[in-house]
Amino acid sequence: MFIVDSHCDSIQLVDHCKYGIVNPHNYSTKYQQIQFVAMMTGWPGDTVKDAWRRACRYTGLFCMAMESEKDKVIQIKTYADIERAFAEGKHGALLTIESATGVQSSPKLLRDFYNVGVRVVGLTWLTNDMGKSNRVFEDGEEDTGLTDAGREMVAAGNELGMIWDVSHLSDASFWQLAELTKKPLIATHSNFRSLCSHSRNLTDDMAKEIIRQGGMIGLNLLPAFISDDPDKRGVADYFKHMEYCLELGGEDNIGFGGDIDGTSGRYPAPLDESCSIHDRLIEFMQKHYSETLVEKFVGGNYLAYLKKYL
């Protein structure tokens, strides 16, 4: 069995000298794993130049980590790299951008990041010059969706073959991107709004559109995205989101999107950082679900997607 997780903020921990890309809890100790490593480059208060500099620093840190940790992980740019990682008994790391604020000044900058290995891009984290995010709106603020600059960025990314991540897009931005994308959308770390009303989660119609396109939804472990009720944020409640996706027809479109290094140590009970989060989740699944469903959710669905579109 192979694991794929479509969102992890490990590069920020590398930046703070806390861990390497492969750390004690974000990679499996039992199975080989592909991790999407997100560069969050649109921090509150950053100028566009600040965000670009952060993206460049993160890229450099990632490249150095690929060299210093080459005995256990390799960079993923193509599906052939995934096959090579598994053949060599190693993990894989695929570089992504969470918030493209650092490249919004020119779509041409996106090519520079593609050339160093970025294959998945989310346009926003906070609202920026490319579009609205799904952070809570101010009173009277209108969801105007993507801007002309955002549409230009999408066109440039489509030409490169980028995959678009919708996890931080506003509702209007989502639907506009759904019309523009050349590859099926992915929500790298989102749950379902019908089970938890947080604006970061997907509506049923959004989820159905991702499923219709043949895209992917990676489930987020942050307790606040699992349930509005603080008493219903355990592991079993997390997997209710998977079960809900099955009800929507998404058995082939669901997987891990843990946001493991972005939760500030908050996980569904009884998870903690004392061991591999993925291994404990798999143990739970194997007790409650069929082996076929476990293998699909754990990595099979994402591997099928990446084989077609990476």
The pLDDT score that the predictor gives to residue 25 is 84
Alpha carbon 269 to chain centroid distance?
22
State phi, psi for 259 to the nearest 5 degrees: 55, 35
Could you report the average pLDDT of every consecutive run of 10 residues in the chain (310 residues)?
95 79 90 96 89 94 95 98 98 97 92 97 96 87 96 98 98 98 98 97 98 98 97 98 98 97 88 90 98 98 98
| Alpha-carbon span 55 to 162, nearest angstrom | 17
Using only the alpha carbons of the chain, give its radius of gyration: 18
Which residues have C-beta within 8 Å of that of residue 187, sequence separation ≥ 6?
165, 166, 167, 202, 206, 210, 215, 216, 217, 218, 257
Residue 252 CA, chain-centre distance (Å), reads 17
The C-alpha atoms of residue 135 and residue 122 are separated, in whole angstroms, by 14
| HEC letters along 166-200 | CCCECHHHHHHHHHHCCCCCEECCCCECCCCCCCC
Residue 299 makes CB contacts below 8 A (sequence gap 6+) with 1, 2, 3, 4, 33, 34, 255, 256
Percent of the chain with pLDDT over 70: 100
Q: Are the C-beta atoms of 125 and 133 separated by less than 8 Å?
A: yes
Residue 211 has a pLDDT of 98
With beta carbons less than 8 A apart as the criterion, state whether 48 and 102 touch: yes
Q: How many Cα atoms are found within 13 Å in the side-chain-facing hemisphere of 49?
A: 0
Residue 166: per-residue pLDDT? 98
Report the pLDDT value the prediction gives residue 277, as an integer from 0 to 100.
94
- The per-residue pLDDT for range 85-101, each reduced to its tens digit, is 999 999 999 999 999 99
Q: Is the omega angle on the peptide bond into residue 270 within 30 degrees of 0, that is, cis?
A: yes
137 to 44, 130, 199, 206, 210: CA distances (angstroms):
15, 16, 10, 19, 24
Residues in contact with 231: Cβ distance below 8 Å, sequence separation at least 6, in sequence order: none
Burial bucket for residue 214 (CB in 10 Å: 0-12, 13-18, 19+): middle
Domains of the chain (ranges plus CATH)? 3-309 (3.20.20.140)
Burial of 44 from C-beta contacts in 10 A (0-12 / 13-18 / 19+): exposed
Q: What is the pLDDT of residue 221?
A: 97
Identify which of 143, 125, 145, 132 has the alpha carbon closest to the alpha carbon of residue 259. Answer: 125
What beta strand segments (E) does 142-289 contain? Answer: 163-164, 186-187, 216-219, 254-256
Q: In DSSP terms, which residues pair with 4 in a beta bridge?
A: 34
Q: What are phi and psi of 255, to 5 degrees?
A: -170, -165
Short-list 228, 210, 186, 240, CA closest to 6: 186
**Res 275: pLDDT:** 83
